[in-house]
Amino acid sequence: KVDLDKRAIEILRENSWGDYTLPTKGLYPYQWNWDSMFVALGFSEIDLDRAWTEVESLFQGQWKNGMAAHIVFRRDSPSYFPGPKVWGGTHEVATSGCSQPPVAATIVRDLYEKDPILGKERLGELFPRLMRWHRWFHTKRVISGGAAIAVTHPWESGRDNSPDWDDALDEVDPTGVTPYQRKDLGHVDADMRPTNAQYDRYIKLVEYGRECGWDHAQITREGPFAVADPGITFILMRADRDLRKLAKFLNKESAVHEIDTWLYRAEHAANYLWNDEIDAYAARNLRNGQHSDGVSSVAFLSYYGGITKPKRDARLQKTLDRILDSAPYSLPSFDPQHPKFDSRRYWRGPTWAIVNYLVARGLEEYGFAEKAKRIRLDTRKVIQDNGFYEYFDPITGAGSGGNHFTWTAAIWLAWAS
Ligand code: DGY
């Protein structure tokens, strides 16, 4: 344990570039949104000041319309595609044109509560930025009358090649995509990454966004891809509750009222995502109402989001038991009993330490301590046996994707160790 703690700290320090941290060298040579927030959580175990700095640097990539971008490009790196030119963003610091799961407010609350004296001023600066970002989600990523949060690019979900997006992505016509060369396959085996057919569509969606000047409301309303995501929806719900608490600390009553209007719709959003056929929350294509027919690990974030419904939860718990029993290194990102499960391919099966942490946190809070513990021990074991990989094969435990991976090291320090 001592050695692993030491190694985890080294990974955080080695991947740290001044005031922000790379997910891993080579494969991801910039600052990624939710990666950075888990990194802040990791840093908060050893250097709280550095943890705040990580959050602050992310918000240098916040757009005028409130969006905190999914990648902040601060220097040129030939090892990654697509770089800033392809995105053609309009913000003064080069960024990508979509967002990522908003864990920031929850992490900021954690940092603040660790030391309210150190954190007070920094919270004061960040609070309006967090409000603007959450407002962006609730206005620009919701289709009129709905409440579940849409992703308009699989990259926005953070779960790039999840089967959750397959049907909607099939509808995206890749004809005429500008020729390009993938860089990810120079770092990681092709069978652990998205396919070329998926990449063509990812790039085509970037081109669509760029051509419409990154008008995010239009992209959600009319773009080629809009899917309600249980991952972002529950993560934002949780972040709204934490942001509300922060608004209370700061005596910002009008912010509290605004957040209440968002939270008022939380149950409606959860109802929309519930899929009776698979006894789980599932993604839903906003263009045709079709549900994804497979169970992703983010289905179990409902507790983390603060949603409980006794009858439904009994069914969800049965689904969780089934999934836990079908993979020795849980929690697989996709149901091992589904034909689309692929134990090595990124978000189509592998286990991710960050999702485990969020799911377990919610389960623990709602009294499912045993299951939370099981997920934590699985996470500990898979890291102990294999190292700090980006993700893990849930059947064999084999480390997959990038190595010396910052968020896995961060979750080790903050929770799994
Ligand atoms: C990638 O390039 O694979 C990233 O996941 C995009 O965010």
Cα–Cα distance, 29 to 80 (Å, whole number): 7
pLDDT in tens, 340-356: 999 999 999 999 999 99
Mean pLDDT of 142-169: 96
The answer, yes or no, to whether any atom of ligand 1 lies below 6 A from the CB of 346, is no
| Closest ligand 1 atom to Cα of 70 | 7
Q: Which atom of ligand 1 is nearest to the CA of 194?
A: 3
pLDDT at 202: 98
Which atom of ligand 1 is closest in space to residue 193's alpha carbon? 3
Ligand 1 centroid–CA 81 distance in Å is 9
Q: What percent of the chain has pLDDT over 90?
A: 96
The answer to whether the beta carbons of residues 326 and 337 sit under 8 Å apart is: yes
Could you read off the pLDDT of 240-267 as tens digits, one per residue? 999 999 999 999 999 999 999 999 999 9
Percent of the chain with pLDDT over 70: 100
Indicate whether residue 30 lines ligand 1 (CB < 6 A): no
Centre of ligand 1 to C-alpha 284, Å, is: 22
CATH number of 25-374: 1.50.10.10
Catalytic residue, candidates 156, 160, 229, 393? 160
| Ligand 1 proximity of 156 Cβ (cutoff 6 Å) | no
Query: How many Å lie between the centroid of ligand 1 and the Cα of residue 320?
Result: 28
Out of 27, 28, 348, give the residue to mutate to test ligand 1, the one with the largest number of ligand atoms within 8 Å of its CB: 28
Residue 191 pLDDT greater than 80, yes or no:
yes
158 C-beta neighbours (distance < 10 Å), count: 26
Global pTM reads 0.98
Average pLDDT over residues 283-293: 97
Distance (angstroms) between ligand 1 centre and the Cα of 297 equals 19
Q: Is 321 a catalytic residue?
A: no
In the chain, % helix, strand, coil (3-state, to 5) comes to: 55, 10, 40
Domain boundaries, the chain: 25-374
Regarding the beta carbon of 160 and ligand 1, being less than 6 Å apart is answered: yes
Q: Give residue 1's pLDDT.
A: 80
Our answer on whether the CB atom of 368 is closer than 6 Å to any ligand 1 atom is no
**Residue 329 pLDDT more than 90?**
yes
Q: Catalytic pick from 54, 229, 335, 390?
A: 390
Q: What is the mean pLDDT of the chain?
A: 97
Residue 414 confidence (pLDDT): 98
pLDDT in tens, 59-115: 999 999 999 999 999 888 999 999 999 999 777 789 999 999 999 999 999 999 999
Distance from the alpha carbon of residue 224 to the mean position of ligand 1, in angstroms: 19
Write the single-letter amino acid at 74: R
Residue nearest to atom 6 of ligand 1 (CA): 155
Q: How far apart are CA 334 and CA 107, in angstroms?
A: 26
Q: Whose CA is nearest to atom 4 of ligand 1?
A: 155
Closest residue by CA, ligand 1 atom 7: 155
Confidence of residue 211 (pLDDT cuts 50, 70, 90): very high
Q: Say whether 390 is catalytic.
A: yes
Quick check: CB of 242 below 6 Å from ligand 1? no
E strand map for 277-341: 280-281, 284-285
Query: Is it the case that residue 209 has pLDDT exceeding 90?
Result: yes
pLDDT at 2: 83
- Specify which residues 28 forms β-bridges with: 24
For ligand 1, the distance from its centroid to the CA atom of residue 201, given in whole angstroms, is: 13
User: Is the C-beta atom of 390 inside 6 A of ligand 1?
Assistant: no
Cα–Cα distance, 120 to 112 (Å, whole number): 7
Answer yes or no: is the C-beta of 352 below 6 A from any ligand 1 atom: no
The residues with which 68 forms a beta bridge, in sequence order, are 62
Nearest ligand 1 atom, CA 96: 7
Ligand 1 centre from 158 Cα, in Å?
Answer: 8
User: Which residues, in sequence order, are bridge partners of residue 334?
Assistant: 296
pLDDT digits (tens, 9 = 90+) for 359-374: 999 999 999 999 999 9
* pLDDT of res. 271: 97
The predicted pLDDT at position 407 comes to 98
Q: Is the CB of 342 under 6 A from ligand 1?
A: no
What string of DSSP letters covers 105-163?
HHHHHHHHHH-HHHHHHHHHHHHHHHHHHHHHHHHHSS-TT--SPEESSHHHHT-TT-G
